[in-house]
Structure formats: C-alpha cells, structure tokens
C-alpha cells in the first residue's frame, strides 16, 4: 500500500491518529519537502514516529517516483505531505503512477492552508481562484496569474495568494554546468508579493486592484505564532511580518458585514480609520 498522508500545518503532532497509525505500519517513509515546510525538522518527526524519514525533494518526486514506489505492492510506504495531500498536482502524478503499477493507494487528509485560511475572518464560500506568486527575476516577470485575480475581483470574491519557496534550488550557472550545488532556502514575504503585484497592476492598468485595495497578510498559519495583519496593500507593504511561511489574501468587495467586523480586528490601530473609510466607500453593501 502507498499511503499519502497529510501532516497539517505546524509540527509533528498535527498528524491525525489515522495518519500516525499508517506511518507506524510503513517500511519506508518519505517527506515531501518542496511545496511547503513544517515548522520542525525531520528529526522531530523521526523521534515522534520512531522511524527514519527520507526527505524527498522535487527531483526525487517528479523524476524518480520509482524509488518511492519500489516494492510498494508488497510493503507499506508512506508519502508525507505538509498540509493536505492534494494541495499540489505533483502528488496527483504520484498517485496516478502508483495506480498504473497496480499499487493500492490510501489517502489520509489533514488541515491545509486552503481551509485554515478561514481563520482570517473571511468566509471560505466567498473565495475565488487561488494563485501562486513566484519571485521575479531581471528577465522574467510573469503575470499569468493576473487575469485570475481580476476575475475574482470583478465578481467580488476574495483571492488567496500562495507565496514562493525555494528549497534545494540550483542557480542557473550551477544548473548549466551540472554542478550539484544548491542555493540556501528562501521564502517569499508578504511584502515581496505586494511589491510584485502592484508592479504588474501599474504595467497592465486593468484596475484589478490597487494601493487602496484591502488585504490581509497571513503568516505561520496553524502555528502558535500565527498572525494576521489587515490593511491596504500600500500599508501592508511596509509591515514586518516576521518568520515564514507567509501568504496573502486580497479582500473581495462582497465582504459581508460579519467578515468585515472580524477582519477589522486584525487592523493595527493606525490602519483602522483608513480601513473604515475604504470599507464604507468601496465594500459595504
């Protein structure tokens, strides 16, 4: 059996009882470590499970799936995913490959950012399409996500923005030279995401959002240091959100009064008057 097991959002204790039972039955355990991260090292997982854990990077999962699936017809193998197993399409590919090899698959779900984001005060029913924001480079400044944001905004829905992480990534030079040298891990901040989004709005000028659009910086979701800060995009640009992981929500104009009351509680005092003015002008139904 291949078990695809969600770990939740914070630490080793967020795994479900069902997931832990499955892990303990497995001969091999792989931890997917490039679409997101836990707030603890794999050594803590190993101590909690009483078993060794192999970190599976992007290359292993996408190009060496046979290593993970080897002999899984005869023994139990666990593939651990931060959040819920199907938050990233890579894991769908692994399941398809397992089924092609006639390996039974069982999925064990858990909390992910896709449902935990409701803690920011906005109704999950009022979210539109989720986007992913990658780091811009000098020669590559992608904006394929922009039409999705505009579609959400045009019908008043909130937009969850998931921010880029770089784990075990190679520089272009090292990749071109075939050198297995990896860059230090990097995690995009809310500030970087806002800066890039405002740059693209200025470039495209389609008024999907702007400096006075209300937004929420959401950081370390599901951990003891979880934090939400609400304000305009311009205001949040200057905030210090601290350690990763970060995400961002653009608030849609359908925001219900109950949502607004909850979100207003995440506004620092210095942002609150501006929040009230913009809410009454642009958001209040």
Which residues does the annotation place in the binding site for S-adenosyl-L-methionine? 9, 84, 87, 112-113, 163, 221, 246
Residue 108, SS3? strand
Dihedral sign computed on CA atoms, order 184, 185, 188, 191: negative
Angle, in degrees to the nearest 10, between helices 190-204 and 146-154 = 80
Residue 81, SS3? strand
Query: Long-range contacts made by residues 12-21, C-beta under 8 angstroms, separation at least 24?
Result: 12/38, 12/40, 12/44, 12/45, 12/47, 12/48, 13/48, 14/110, 14/111, 14/222, 15/110, 16/108, 16/109, 16/110, 18/108, 19/108, 19/110, 20/49
For residue 56, what are the β-bridge partners? 32
In the annotated binding site, the residues are: 9, 84, 87, 112-113, 163, 221, 246
Cβ neighbours around 136 below 10 Å, total? 16
Note whether 123 and 251 are within 8 A (CB): no
What does the alpha-carbon distance between residue 94 and residue 112 come to, in Å, rounded to a whole number?
A: 19
Residue 83, SS3? strand
| Cβ partners under 8 Å of residue 224, min gap 6 | 10
Cβ neighbours around 23 below 10 Å, total? 23
């Amino acid at each position: 059996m291949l078990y695809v097991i969600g770990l939740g959002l914070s630490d080793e204790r967020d795994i479900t009882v069902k997931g832990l039972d499955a892990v303990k039955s497995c001969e091999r355990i792989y931890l997917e470590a490039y679409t997101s991260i836990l707030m603890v090292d794999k050594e803590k997982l190993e101590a909690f499970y009483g078993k060794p854990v192999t970190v599976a990077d992007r290359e292993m999962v996408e190009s060496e799936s046979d290593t993970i699936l080897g002999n899984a017809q005869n023994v139990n193998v666990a593939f651990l995913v931060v959040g819920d197993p199907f938050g990233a399409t890579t894991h769908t590919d692994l399941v398809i490959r397992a089924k092609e090899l006639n390996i039974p698959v069982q999925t064990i779900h858990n909390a992910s950012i896709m449902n935990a984001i409701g803690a920011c005060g906005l109704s999950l029913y009022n979210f539109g399409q989720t986007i992913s924001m990658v780091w811009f480079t000098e020669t590559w400044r992608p904006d394929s996500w922009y039409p999705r944001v505009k579609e959400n905004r045009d019908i008043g829905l909130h937009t969850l923005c998931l921010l880029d992480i770089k784990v075990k990534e190679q520089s272009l030079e090292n990749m071109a030279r075939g050198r297995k040298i990896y860059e230090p891990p990097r995690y995009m901040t809310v500030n970087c995401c806002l800066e890039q989004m405002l740059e693209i709005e200025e470039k495209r000028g389609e008024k999907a959002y702007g400096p006075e659009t209300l937004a929420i910086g959401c950081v370390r979701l599901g951990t003891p240091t979880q934090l939400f800060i609400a304000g305009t995009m311009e205001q949040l640009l200057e905030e210090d959100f601290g350690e990763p992981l970060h995400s961002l929500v653009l608030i849609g104009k359908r925001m219900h009064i109950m949502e607004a009351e909850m979100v207003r509680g995440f506004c620092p005092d210095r942002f609150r008057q501006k929040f009230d003015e913009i809410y009454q002008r642009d958001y209040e139904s």
